[in-house]
Amino acid sequence: MIKLKDVNFIRDNVKSHHEWMQNSLPMIASENITSPLAREMLATDFGHRYAEGDPGERYYEGCQYLDKVELRTQKLAKEIFNAPKSDVRPISGVMANMAAVFALTEPGDKVLALNVSDGAHISHSKHSVVGMHGLEVKEIPYNQNKLNINKEELKEKIKQEKPKLVILGASVFPFPHPVKEAAEAAEDLDTRILYDAAHVLGLIAGNKFQDPLSEGADVVTGSTHKTLPGPQGGITLHKEELDESIREKVFPAIHSNHHLNNLAALGITLAETKEFGNEYATQIVKNAKKLANELAKNNIDVLGNGEEYTRSHQILLDVSKEGGGAKIAQKMEDSNIIANKNLLPWDEENNTHQPSGIRLGVQELTRIGMKESEMKKVAEIISDIIKSNKSINKIKKEVKALKKDFNKIHYCYDGSMDAYQYPKLR
C-alpha cells in the first residue's frame, strides 16, 4: 500500500539488518545482545512512562511499580559490584561520565586523563564532557610498548599536578589500569579517582578483571551494553559520601526522565549476571586470549604488553602495513565480519578516519556460544582477509557456515530465542 511506503521501507531495512547479523560475526568491542527476558522488558509499557526524581519522591504519579523495579535494580547493582551506592538512571555511559565529572569538579579544575590515541573515550577529552565543563586536561603518561599507563610516572604526575580528578578506564582497554597506585598517590590530596568501566563492566561483575572500587576508585561509571550484555544505558557506582551530589547531577541537572523500559531490562540483565556472570566473563577472556594467540601465529601484528596480548575482551591489531585500519575494516565488513578501525598510540589524535589499527571484541561471539575452537577458525578467516588470501565471496561463505550453529543466546535464563530474530508484532 502506498500509505505504508515509509513504514515498509523502515521495517524492510531493519529486517535486512537482522538477517545480516544472523549471517555475520559481530566483533565491535562496544556492542552486545540482550537476553530474551531483557528484550521482553524493552517492549513493555514502561517505555511510555515518566518517573522524574527518586523512587518514592517522584514528580509524576503512576510510579508505584516503576519504583519497585528501580529499587530492585539499584540493589542488584550494589550487590554485584560491591558498591555502597549506585545510580541506574543514566541513559548512556557518557551521561554517567557527565554526572560524575560534574559532581566531582568545578570549571577551571585540573583533570588527568589519557590521550584519545592512547585509548581514552572521547568523553574524557577536551572535545566532550571534560572540555564542555571547562576543565584543564593534563595527559596521563602512557607506555606504548605495554599498552598501559606508566605507573610510576602517573604517581609522580598526580603529586606534581595535584589534579581535582584522575580519570582511568578506556575505550582501548586490554589490561587493568593502576587504580591502587593512583589512589595511593592521591591519598593526601584533594583528588578523586573516576574509573570508566564501560568496556569491562561485565568482566568486573564476573570477577575476571580488577575491582576498581576495592582498589581505591571513588566512582565507577559505565555503559550497560558491552561486556555487560544489557540494554543501551549507563550506571554509576560510588562511595556513600558522593551519593547526593552524583544523584543531583543525574537528575535534574542532566536528565529529565530516564528510559524506564531500559531500566527494567537492566534489572533482568543484572539478575542473570548474578547467576551466569562469572561463567560468561571467564569464557570471554579465554576466547580473547585464544583469538589473539591464533592471529599472532598467523603472522598478524597483534599488539600486547610483551608478555600477553590481552586480559579483557579486546584485541588490538596493527594493520598499517596492509593498508591501514579503514581499508581492513571495510574488507572485513564486506566479508561479514563487523569490527572497527581504531587509533593506535602512535597515531595522531585527529587521524580518526585513517588510523593504523583494528579493534576486535569477542563478547558477542561468546554470548552466542562460541569457545576456543571457534576462535581458531575466526582467526583463520580474519587472517585471510588481512592478507587477501581468498576472495570476499569465499570468505562470506565460510563466515555463514561458521555462524549457522551459533544463533542462540547463552548465559541467560531463557536461551530458546534466536539471537538475531526479528521481533514481528503484526
Do 312 and 199 form a contact (C-beta atoms < 8 A)? yes
Cell digits of residue 191:
583528588
Is 63 domain-assigned?
yes
Is 142 domain-assigned?
yes
Report which residue type is found at 391: S
pTM value is 0.97
Tell me the average confidence (pLDDT) per consecutive run of 10 residues in the chain, 426 residues long: 88 97 98 98 98 95 98 99 98 97 97 93 88 94 96 98 98 98 96 98 99 98 99 98 98 96 99 99 99 98 98 98 97 98 92 94 99 99 96 97 97 93 85
Cell digits of residue 240:
556513600
Number of domains into which the chain is organized: 1
Q: CB neighbours of 241 closer than 8 A, spacing ≥ 6?
A: none
Cell digits of residue 215:
582498589
Is 415 domain-assigned?
no
Closest CA to 186 of 110, 121, 87: 110
Is 10 domain-assigned?
no
Closest CA to 225 of 264, 269, 257, 174: 269
Is 330 domain-assigned?
no
Do 375 and 360 form a contact (C-beta atoms < 8 A)? no
Range of the domain at 172: 39-270
- What's 64's domain CATH number? 3.40.640.10
pLDDT value of residue 165: 98
pLDDT value of residue 407: 94
The 3-class SS string of 325-350 reads HHHHHHHHHHCCEECEEECCCCCCCC
Q: Where are the alpha helices (DSSP H) in 359-391?
A: 363-367, 372-387
Is 291 domain-assigned?
no
Is 426 domain-assigned?
no
The CA-based dihedral angle spanning residues 11, 396, 337, 286, taken in that order and rounded to the nearest 10 degrees: 120
Is 254 domain-assigned?
yes
Residues in the chain, overall count: 426
Helices vs strands, H then E, count in the chain: 15, 16
pLDDT value of residue 1: 61
User: Do you find a cis peptide bond into 252, omega within 30 degrees of 0?
Assistant: yes
pLDDT value of residue 3: 82
Closest CA to 193 of 101, 86, 78: 101
